[in-house]
Amino acid sequence: MGQLISKLNTLVSGLSRSVAANIVMLGLDASGKTTILYKIKLNETVKTIPTVGFNVETVGPIKGINFTVWDIGGQEKIRRLWQHYLKSADGLIYVVDSNDKDRLCKAREELYGILNNENMRSVPVVVIANKQDLPDAMDLSTVADGLDLNRIKQRQWKIQGACAKTGDGLFESMKAMSDLVKSYINKSLLEEKRDQYK
C-alpha cells in the first residue's frame, strides 16, 4: 500500500512540475519575430524597430512549460552570429514572412544552415508562416514547399500560419512548440539514462 501511494505521489508531482526550455527564434529581418515575442509575452502589438542584437524574454504560453525565448536579429550581418545562440537550444521557432516571395529561397538557405549546425542535431522546429493576413501571402503548402520542409527527416517539425499583429495562430504555434519540446526533452533524458547503464 505504501509503495502504491509513493508511486501515485511521484506521478502527480511529475504532472504538476513545470518544464523549462530554451527556445531560439530566428528568421530573416522583417519577418515579425519581435512582434511575435511581445504578442506572446504581453498580449499586445508592440511597435518594433529592427533588432540589432537580441531580445530575451521568459514566457509561459502553455500551462506546465516556460520558454526562455531568444529573439535574435535577422539582418545579414547579424545572421553570422546565430551559431553562438544555438548551443543550449531545446527548440527552434523559425519565422518566415509569408508575403516575401522574393526571399523564400534565402529563408530556406538560412534554415538549413541552422539545422546543419552540430548543436541543433534533432532539436524540434516550429516554422511560423507569419503575415497570413496580407492579401498576397503565400499559403502554408507554398511556404512548406519553398522551404523544402519535407526534406527534414531526423527531427520533429510543424508549420503554422499566423498573424503576429492580431495573434491569430500564435497559441497554436506555442502549443506545437510545447508538445515537440516536451517530447524532445523526455527523449534526451531517456537517452542520457540509457547511456549511464551501458
Which positions are catalytic? 75
73 annotated to a ligand binding site: no
Task: State yes or no: 133 annotated in a binding site.
Answer: yes
Question: Is 198 annotated as a binding-site member?
Answer: no
Tell whether residue 74 is among the known ligand binding residues.
yes
169 labeled binding residue? no
- Tell me the torsion sign for CA atoms 126, 131, 135, 137: negative
Is 156 annotated in a binding site? The answer is no
* Residues 62-65: contacts with CB under 8 Å, at least 24 apart: 62/174, 62/175, 62/178, 64/16, 64/17, 64/18, 64/19, 64/178, 65/18, 65/19, 65/20, 65/21, 65/178, 65/181, 65/182
Cβ neighbours of residue 99 under 8 Å, at least 6 residues apart?
131, 134, 136, 137, 138
For residue 182, give the 3-state DSSP assignment: helix
Question: Do the annotations mark residue 32 as ligand-binding?
Answer: yes
Is 28 known to sit in a ligand binding site? Answer: yes
Annotated binding site for GTP: 27-34, 74, 130-133
Annotated binding site: 27-34, 51, 74, 130-133
Annotated binding site for Mg(2+): 34, 51
